[in-house]
Amino acid sequence: MRSEYKRSDFVILERGKFYAEVAKGTTVVVLSPSNAKAFPSSQAVNDALSGLLELTKQTSRITHRSTRTRAKAARAG
Protein backbone atom coordinates (compact mmCIF):
# COMPACT_ATOMS: atom_id res chain seq x y z
CA MET A 1 0.00 0.00 0.00
CA ARG A 2 1.28 3.47 -0.81
CA SER A 3 2.49 5.58 2.08
CA GLU A 4 -0.10 8.33 1.44
CA TYR A 5 -2.93 5.85 2.13
CA LYS A 6 -4.03 4.93 5.62
CA ARG A 7 -5.74 1.69 6.48
CA SER A 8 -8.43 3.72 8.25
CA ASP A 9 -9.38 5.26 4.87
CA PHE A 10 -10.84 1.89 3.86
CA VAL A 11 -13.87 0.52 5.64
CA ILE A 12 -13.54 -3.13 4.63
CA LEU A 13 -10.54 -4.46 2.79
CA GLU A 14 -11.17 -7.24 0.31
CA ARG A 15 -8.14 -8.92 -1.22
CA GLY A 16 -8.32 -9.22 -5.01
CA LYS A 17 -11.61 -7.37 -5.35
CA PHE A 18 -10.69 -5.90 -8.75
CA TYR A 19 -8.34 -8.66 -9.90
CA ALA A 20 -10.61 -9.87 -12.70
CA GLU A 21 -11.03 -6.34 -14.10
CA VAL A 22 -7.31 -5.62 -13.97
CA ALA A 23 -6.51 -8.95 -15.56
CA LYS A 24 -8.74 -8.00 -18.52
CA GLY A 25 -6.59 -4.91 -19.06
CA THR A 26 -9.10 -2.39 -17.80
CA THR A 27 -8.39 0.48 -15.43
CA VAL A 28 -10.15 0.48 -12.10
CA VAL A 29 -11.13 3.87 -10.67
CA VAL A 30 -12.86 4.56 -7.37
CA LEU A 31 -15.37 7.40 -7.65
CA SER A 32 -16.31 9.75 -4.85
CA PRO A 33 -19.80 9.11 -3.46
CA SER A 34 -21.25 12.21 -5.16
CA ASN A 35 -19.86 11.16 -8.55
CA ALA A 36 -21.00 7.58 -8.05
CA LYS A 37 -24.59 8.81 -7.67
CA ALA A 38 -24.38 10.51 -11.08
CA PHE A 39 -22.89 7.43 -12.78
CA PRO A 40 -24.74 4.27 -11.81
CA SER A 41 -22.64 1.96 -13.99
CA SER A 42 -19.21 1.70 -15.59
CA GLN A 43 -20.90 2.10 -18.99
CA ALA A 44 -22.35 5.45 -17.87
CA VAL A 45 -18.87 6.62 -16.85
CA ASN A 46 -17.36 5.44 -20.14
CA ASP A 47 -20.11 7.17 -22.16
CA ALA A 48 -19.60 10.45 -20.31
CA LEU A 49 -15.81 10.34 -20.69
CA SER A 50 -16.09 9.45 -24.39
CA GLY A 51 -18.40 12.41 -24.91
CA LEU A 52 -16.02 14.70 -23.07
CA LEU A 53 -13.05 13.51 -25.14
CA GLU A 54 -15.01 14.01 -28.36
CA LEU A 55 -15.96 17.53 -27.26
CA THR A 56 -12.34 18.40 -26.50
CA LYS A 57 -11.30 17.15 -29.95
CA GLN A 58 -13.94 19.35 -31.58
CA THR A 59 -13.18 22.48 -29.58
CA SER A 60 -9.39 22.25 -29.32
CA ARG A 61 -8.96 23.56 -32.86
CA ILE A 62 -10.89 26.76 -32.21
CA THR A 63 -8.92 27.71 -29.12
CA HIS A 64 -5.43 27.65 -30.63
CA ARG A 65 -4.01 31.04 -31.48
CA SER A 66 -2.16 31.36 -34.72
CA THR A 67 1.61 31.72 -34.71
CA ARG A 68 1.16 35.16 -36.27
CA THR A 69 -0.84 36.32 -33.24
CA ARG A 70 1.79 34.92 -30.86
CA ALA A 71 4.59 36.67 -32.74
CA LYS A 72 2.70 39.95 -32.64
CA ALA A 73 2.12 39.58 -28.88
CA ALA A 74 5.82 38.82 -28.33
CA ARG A 75 6.90 41.97 -30.18
CA ALA A 76 4.43 44.13 -28.22
CA GLY A 77 5.35 42.75 -24.82
For the chain, the domains span: 7-76
pLDDT digits (tens, 9 = 90+) for 24-63: 877 778 889 998 999 988 899 999 999 999 988 887 766 5
Name the residue among 20, 21, 40, 19 with its Cα closest to residue 31: 40
pTM: 0.47
Sign of CA pseudo-dihedral 70, 71, 73, 77: positive
Cα 13 to Cα 46: distance, rounded to the nearest angstrom: 26
Q: What are phi and psi of 54, to 5 degrees?
A: -65, -40
Between these two residues, 20 and 45, which has the higher pLDDT value? Answer: 45
pLDDT of residue 64: 58
Between these two residues, 39 and 69, which has the higher pLDDT value? Answer: 39
